[in-house]
């Protein structure tokens, strides 16, 4: 367990799996490009460095607890800096995920999740940003919207995409579904998908323990295979995220590739009407 652990809670498109019809919607594979954290054991502890302000603590804790209900992983919170500068930059910690909130401005996006992956397709860092510029507005300033977006962005950080992207379909009652009003928690299909994504083990771990997420953790990936991007910052605009991989409704994916081959993928949730 982490010495600086705090706020424990209760508890995105490649491949095929068996499809199940529910309410007229077909549930199939919703992994995010088959990206996942490398690990040598069937279950692993993923550090979530919480750099949100106190008003977001209940939502982060609940989402952390809900995703930890998976048999494949436990999310463990660590204390992160909540200074304005650190929350704005939301630098990715080595082998872990950082979650931040800030009034990032009228960017058009409500939430952003980013992952960096090594040449083997394994996640080595991740981050989530929650934009208080919009969450302070009456439409989004609700527990349901805050919980749903927190849940969804952390779901992207562990390799999940959306289950369905059509607001007109019957709700799947998952935070990984397009719907208004939003649903706040994962559903069984989300957990089943994690079972599929993390069914196998790997030859190294791309995750690490951590403290404040400033690069002090240790990742035991072989040289050149990851965990070498500690402290990488991510901007708040299209120019920072690279090439758009396509937009559907209020969701858009971006890809940026570093000279060394490390890929940075960003999942953006745009506000309605943007």
**Per-residue model confidence as pLDDT tens digits over 184-223:** 999 998 899 899 999 999 999 999 843 333 333 445 555 4
Q: Is 185 domain-assigned?
A: yes
Write phi, then psi, for 133 (nearest 5 degrees): -55, -35
Q: Is 123 domain-assigned?
A: yes
Q: Which CATH number characterizes residue 198's domain?
A: 3.40.390.10
Encoding tokens for residue 78? 């660590």
Q: Is 4 domain-assigned?
A: no
Q: Is 69 domain-assigned?
A: yes
- Strand ranges for 154-272 from DSSP E: 243-248, 251-257, 263-270
77, pLDDT greater than 50: yes
Of 68, 57, 270, give the one whose Cα is nearest residue 158. 68
Indicate the SS3 state at residue 211. Answer: coil
Indicate the SS3 state at residue 60. Answer: helix
Of 119, 191, 180, give the one whose Cα is nearest residue 158. 191
Q: What is the pTM of this model?
A: 0.78
Residue 159 vs residue 225, higher pLDDT: 159
Q: How far apart are CA 92 and CA 49, in angstroms?
A: 9
Q: Is 8 domain-assigned?
A: no
Q: Is 5 domain-assigned?
A: no
Q: How many domains does the chain have?
A: 1
Indicate the SS3 state at residue 5. Answer: coil
Q: For residue 138, what pLDDT band results from cuts at 50, 70 and 90?
A: very high
Q: Is 144 domain-assigned?
A: yes
How do strand 243-248 and strand 109-117 relate by DSSP bridges?
A: unpaired
Q: Is 216 domain-assigned?
A: yes
| pLDDT digit string, tens, across residues 140-154 | 999 999 999 999 999
Torsion of CA 143, 64, 267, 175, to 10 degrees: -50
Domain hosting 115: range is 20-270
Contacts of 127 (CB under 8 A, 6+ apart): 90, 91, 92, 97, 98, 99, 100, 112, 113, 114, 157, 234
Residue 11 vs residue 123, higher pLDDT: 123
């Amino acid at each position: 367990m982490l010495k600086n652990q705090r706020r424990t809670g209760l508890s995105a498109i490649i491949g095929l799996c068996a499809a199940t019809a529910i309410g007229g919607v077909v549930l199939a594979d919703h992994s995010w490009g088959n990206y996942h954290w490398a690990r040598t054991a069937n279950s692993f502890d993923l550090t979530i460095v919480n750099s949100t302000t106190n008003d977001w603590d209940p939502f982060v804790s609940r989402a952390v607890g809900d995703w930890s209900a998976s048999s494949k992983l436990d999310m463990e919170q660590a204390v992160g800096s909540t200074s304005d500068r650190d929350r704005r930059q939301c630098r990715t910690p080595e082998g872990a995920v950082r979650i931040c909130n800030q009034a990032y401005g009228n960017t058009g996006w409500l939430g952003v999740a980013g992952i960096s992956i090594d040449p083997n397709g394994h996640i080595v860092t991740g981050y989530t940003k929650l934009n208080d510029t919009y969450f302070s507005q009456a439409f989004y300033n609700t527990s349901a919207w805050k919980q749903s977006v927190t849940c969804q962005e952390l779901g992207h950080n562990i390799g999940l995409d959306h289950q369905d992207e059509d607001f007109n379909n019957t709700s799947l009652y998952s935070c990984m579904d397009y719907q208004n009003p939003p649903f706040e928690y994962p559903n069984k299909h989300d957990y089943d998908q994690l079972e599929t994504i993390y069914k196998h083990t790997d030859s190294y771990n791309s995750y690490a323990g951590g403290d404040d997420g400033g690069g002090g953790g240790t990742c035991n990936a072989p040289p050149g295979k990851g965990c070498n991007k500690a402290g990488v910052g991510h901007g708040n605009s299209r120019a920072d995220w690279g090439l758009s991989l396509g937009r559907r409704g209020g969701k858009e994916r971006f890809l940026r590739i570093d000279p060394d081959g490390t890929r940075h993928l960003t999942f953006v949730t745009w506000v309605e009407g943007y």
